[in-house]
Amino acid sequence: MQDSVTPLLREAGITKEPLPPGVTGVGLRTTPDLFGFGLLEAVAEHEILRHADPDDRDHDGISGRPHWTDDGIGRFGRKGQVSNLTDFITDAWIYEQGITSEAEPDEQTIAGEPLPDGVDPTLDPEISEEDLEASIRFVQFLAPPSRVHGGMNAVRGARVFSEIGCASCHVPALRTDRHPIRAMSRKKVFAYTDLLLHDMGEELSDICNGEALPSEFRTEPLMGLRFSTIYMHDGRATTIEQAIEMHGGEATGSRDRFLELSHRKRSQLLRFLETL
Ligand code: HEC
């Protein structure tokens, strides 16, 4: 549901996309960054499944499960609802930008109604297959942001991160599979995610998406965290500490251990997070 429109739509009296009648839930989303997504796509499914523990057999309170889609394990989207970059980017062109392509040739409707006459003069498809493909490749090759050095305190903070269980979901590194592109083949990607769905508790809960339940979210990658200014799927946290305090559900134990950290260990942990 878009809350901003083109000038021509505004002239036609439409200022935002209305919610359809009878909605039962609303979920707000901030825009994710895209760095390193090509590498996340190249991670093998068996590598993701290695961290899954849907029935919590190891009794650590954390039971990540893969989001199975028709095309394999979902990796992209806050609920891991999309498994590959081609679909993710093709969907973004039509659903976020309203730009039709060969794969998504139909213009979007507004609350089920076609667009009013005259607001969409461009012939469909609005983006050529070649440009769509180029935009997918562009995202595929965006490198993950490199880490910065944070000194001894950051090194100690990384240890705290593991000790209190953050790394059980924010798995520091995943390895990519063999890949025809050498830069993507058998690389370690320090993404700080397991790409699995976790129950994050009632407070964060919003909508279903694919197989994901309202309270389930895919572990947000922490690579590039230092460039973010708002956190969590809807941007409700404005500091990293707030974001951690908002963890519930399977992350409750880890969050509580964070809250009990000494002042020194807490600042080491935050120092570490600022290097990502
Ligand atoms: C049970 C799995 C789990 C554990 C344990 C966990 N997290 Fe998370 N974390 C998540 C998920 C899922 C999200 C995304 C939640 C959302 O978007 O609402 C997230 C989001 C975050 C974010 C916000 C990222 C952003 O860009 O919005 C930060 C920061 C974070 N976690 C740090 C931590 C730290 C530090 C710990 C340890 C104290 C921790 N997490 C423990 C699953 C976990």
For 176-218, write each residue's pLDDT tens digit: 999 999 999 999 999 999 999 999 999 999 999 999 999 999 9
For residues 36-68, b (16+ Cβ closer than 10 Å) or e, as one string?
bbbbbbbbbeebbeebbbeeeeeeeebbbbbbe
- Residues near 267 by beta carbon (within 8 Å), at least 6 away in sequence: 153
CA distance 242 to 249: 16
Of 79, 170, 202, 252, best ligand 1 pocket probe by most atoms within 8 Å of the beta carbon: 170
Nearest to 100 by CA among 77, 75, 132: 132
Asked whether 84 and 71 are in contact (CB, 8 A), the reply is yes
127 or 21, which is more confident: 127
212 lines ligand 1 (CB under 6 A): no
Nearest to 36 by CA among 85, 71, 72, 74: 85
Distance 276 CA to ligand 1 centre (A): 14
21 or 274, which is more confident: 274
Distance 222 CA to ligand 1 centre (A): 8
Distance 273 CA to ligand 1 centre (A): 11
93 lines ligand 1 (CB under 6 A): no
Distance 106 CA to ligand 1 centre (A): 37
Range of weakest confidence among 15-24, 26-35, 90-99, 125-134: 15-24
Asked whether 270 and 240 are in contact (CB, 8 A), the reply is yes
When pLDDT is averaged across residues 41-51 and rounded to a whole number, the result is: 97
Q: What is the pLDDT of residue 6?
A: 87
223 lines ligand 1 (CB under 6 A): no
Indicate the average pLDDT of the chain: 94
**Banded model confidence at residue 21, pLDDT cuts 50, 70, 90:** confident
Of 219, 240, 268, 273, best ligand 1 pocket probe by most atoms within 8 Å of the beta carbon: 219
Share of the chain above pLDDT 70, in %: 100
When pLDDT is averaged across residues 132-159 and rounded to a whole number, the result is: 96
Q: Could you identify the residue written with the tokens 């397991």? A: 194
204 lines ligand 1 (CB under 6 A): yes
Which atom of ligand 1 lies nearest, measured to the CA of 166?
37
Q: Could you identify the residue written with the tokens 């595929």? A: 140
**Banded model confidence at residue 109, pLDDT cuts 50, 70, 90:** confident
244 lines ligand 1 (CB under 6 A): yes
Q: What is the pLDDT of residue 232?
A: 98
